[in-house]
């Protein structure tokens, strides 16, 4: 089927459309879309399942599909590819800016083909603010991909998030904008905002003191050390910022209408970050009823990143994380789907939905977490554009699935149709951009 982009408003007809606000599917909705603004101009519910015949040439019939708002991945790294292919250290140290950028363009295309029209991209991992340039290249239609909300460099306290090489004379890319003290972290937030960040990310905790113990045999021929410390062969996590530093980060970012995401592994880090008023907690993988209570109380969005955990954490720990995620939903904590994609392949984003569903969270709740809650994690009204649901004034980001995910979760991968900002990108299971 050939398709040329319409220049006048056109209609998309659906028979089953997901509403993340109502957490249900609505029958027989038609959407009038402006190709100029990329927004939904009007929605209306038809009295019957039938649609006009013959259909005006620019109208699109999606009545054979299950239609949803475009997916939002709330935790990605567009410049990373799977660590199983190339470990993080080598990607950051050895791959050129050109290679990483070209890979990122491929990743963006793969994400769009999988139905992802928005990425909250939480750090370039060694490329500074290159994500700002990629975001703008997508917005200028130079390359295709999800709309990016970027973090540039994350914030960490001195030495808190560094690429460790044993040769201290080696020049290594920085991984974080390092800052200490209330004034110092405020200045760092100001630097991120000036660099073009849409979201500020900071490390609430991180492995620390790794230099005491070489964790892996990093280079060919590197010798392992013979005796492991009593805590095992993984460095321990420690808090990176005081409570007052975290509050200053949040205050400074919020004053400029910018959301804040906190990387936090331990319950202590989750609790301190949530109490400081961060918009989202990333990972939070160590089960803790108290951490859930505080996130619920503070209205913090929880992004459990089950996809990357499945790859990186031992199997027995993963089970407790599923339980923790289910408990979070049960306790009324708002979830957003973010797979920490990059370390896991771009295009595999929907794995996060599959794992949340496997953890016991109802399908409709998971779909809301992958759409509307993603928009909220990006800053909600601060985004300057509504996406993640389909109503008058929202971006026309639309996904059509060949089959109902309530009947079979595998249908989440059967993405037949994708539209972003009113422009069809994939039709009949083929990319057309």
Binding range to Zn ion, per CB under 5 A, among 99-107, 173-181, 340-348, 404-412: 340-348
* Nearer of residues 75 and 272 to Zn ion, judged by Cβ: 75
Residue 225, SS3? coil
* Nearer of residues 340 and 397 to Zn ion, judged by Cβ: 340
* Nearer of residues 281 and 401 to Zn ion, judged by Cβ: 281
CB of 337 to Zn ion, least distance (A): 14
CB of 75 to Zn ion, least distance (A): 6
User: By rule CB under 5 A, what count of residues binds Zn ion?
Assistant: 1
* Nearer of residues 182 and 262 to Zn ion, judged by Cβ: 262
CB of 183 to Zn ion, least distance (A): 27
CB 24 within 8 A of CB 1: no
Q: Does residue 354 touch Zn ion according to CB under 5 A?
A: no
Element (H, E) at 274: helix 267-276
* Phi and psi, residue 290, nearest 5°: -65, -40
CB of 120 to Zn ion, least distance (A): 10
> Which residues share a beta bridge with 76?
121, 341
Give the helix ranges, DSSP H, for 277-400: 289-298, 306-312, 315-330, 351-358, 363-369, 372-377
Rg (CA), the chain: 22
Q: Which of residues 308-337 bind Zn ion (CB under 5 A)?
A: none
Q: Does residue 340 touch Zn ion according to CB under 5 A?
A: yes
Residue 331, SS3? coil
* Nearer of residues 78 and 396 to Zn ion, judged by Cβ: 78
CB of 305 to Zn ion, least distance (A): 7
* Nearer of residues 60 and 264 to Zn ion, judged by Cβ: 264
Give the helix ranges, DSSP H, for 24-129: 88-94, 97-113
CB of 164 to Zn ion, least distance (A): 18
CB 130 within 8 A of CB 177: no
Q: Does residue 73 touch Zn ion according to CB under 5 A?
A: no
Give the nearest residue (CB) to Zn ion: 340
Length of the chain: 433
CB of 412 to Zn ion, least distance (A): 22
* Nearer of residues 29 and 175 to Zn ion, judged by Cβ: 175
* Nearer of residues 340 and 352 to Zn ion, judged by Cβ: 340
* Nearer of residues 73 and 340 to Zn ion, judged by Cβ: 340
Name 234's Cβ contacts closer than 8 Å, sequence gap at least 6. 207, 215
CB 92 within 8 A of CB 163: yes
* Nearer of residues 120 and 386 to Zn ion, judged by Cβ: 120
Binding range to Zn ion, per CB under 5 A, among 64-72, 79-87, 271-279, 338-346: 338-346
CB 390 within 8 A of CB 69: yes
Name 276's Cβ contacts closer than 8 Å, sequence gap at least 6. 243, 246, 247, 249, 250, 262
CB 236 within 8 A of CB 228: no
CB of 338 to Zn ion, least distance (A): 8
CB of 66 to Zn ion, least distance (A): 30
Q: What SS3 string covers 182-205?
A: HHHHHHHHHHHHHHCCCCEEEECE
> Within 13 Å and on the Cβ side, how many CA atoms surround 348?
19
- Classify residue 202 as exposed, middle or buried by CB count within 10 Å of its CB (0-12, 13-18, 19+): buried
CB of 122 to Zn ion, least distance (A): 5
Instruction: Enumerate binding residues for Zn ion (CB under 5 A).
Output: 340
């Amino acid at each position: 089927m050939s398709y040329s982009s319409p220049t006048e408003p056109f209609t998309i007809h659906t028979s089953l459309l997901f509403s993340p606000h109502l957490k249900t599917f609505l029958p027989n909705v038609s959407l009038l879309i402006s190709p100029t603004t990329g927004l939904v101009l009007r929605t209306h519910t038809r009295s019957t399942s039938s649609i006009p015949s013959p259909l005006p040439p620019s109208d699109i019939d999606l009545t054979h599909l299950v239609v949803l708002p475009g997916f939002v991945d709330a935790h990605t790294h567009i410049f990373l590819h799977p660590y199983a292919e190339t470990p993080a250290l080598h990607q950051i140290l050895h791959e050129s800016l050109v290679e990483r950028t070209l890979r990122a363009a491929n990743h963006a295309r793969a994400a769009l083909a999988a139905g992802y029209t928005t990425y909250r991209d939480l750090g370039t991992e060694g490329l500074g603010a290159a994500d700002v340039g990629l975001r703008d290249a997508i917005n200028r239609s130079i390359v295709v991909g999800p709309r990016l909300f970027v973090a540039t460099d994350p914030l960490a306290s001195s030495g808190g998030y560094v690429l460790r090489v044993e040769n201290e004379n080696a020049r290594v890319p920085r991984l974080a904008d390092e800052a200490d003290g209330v004034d110092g972290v405020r200045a760092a937030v100001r630097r991120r905002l000036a660099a073009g960040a849409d979201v500020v990310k900071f490390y609430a905790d991180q492995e620390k003191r790794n230099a005491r113990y070489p964790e892996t045999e990093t280079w060919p021929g590197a010798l392992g050390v013979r005796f492991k410390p009593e805590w095992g062969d993984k460095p321990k996590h420690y808090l990176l910022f005081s409570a007052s530093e975290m509050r200053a980060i949040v205050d400074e970012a919020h004053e400029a209408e910018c959301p804040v995401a906190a990387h936090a592994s331990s319950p202590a880090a989750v609790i301190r970050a949530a109490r400081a008023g961060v918009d989202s907690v990333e990972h939070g993988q160590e089960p803790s009823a108290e951490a859930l209570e505080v996130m619920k109380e503070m209205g913090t969005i929880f992004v459990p990143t089950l996809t990357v955990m499945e790859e990186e954490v031992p199997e027995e720990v993963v089970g407790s994380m599923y339980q923790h995620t289910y408990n979070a939903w049960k306790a009324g904590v708002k979830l957003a789907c973010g797979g920490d994609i990059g370390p896991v392949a771009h295009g595999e984003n929907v794995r996060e939905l599959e794992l949340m569903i496997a953890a016991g969270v109802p399908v409709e709740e998971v779909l809301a977490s992958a759409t509307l809650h993603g928009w909220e994690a990006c800053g909600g009204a601060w985004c300057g554009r509504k996406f993640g649901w389909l109503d008058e004034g929202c971006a026309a980001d639309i996904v059509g699935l060949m089959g109902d995910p309530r009947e079979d979760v595998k249908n989440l991968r059967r993405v037949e149709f994708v539209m972003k900002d009113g422009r069809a990108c994939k039709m009949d299971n083929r990319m057309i951009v």
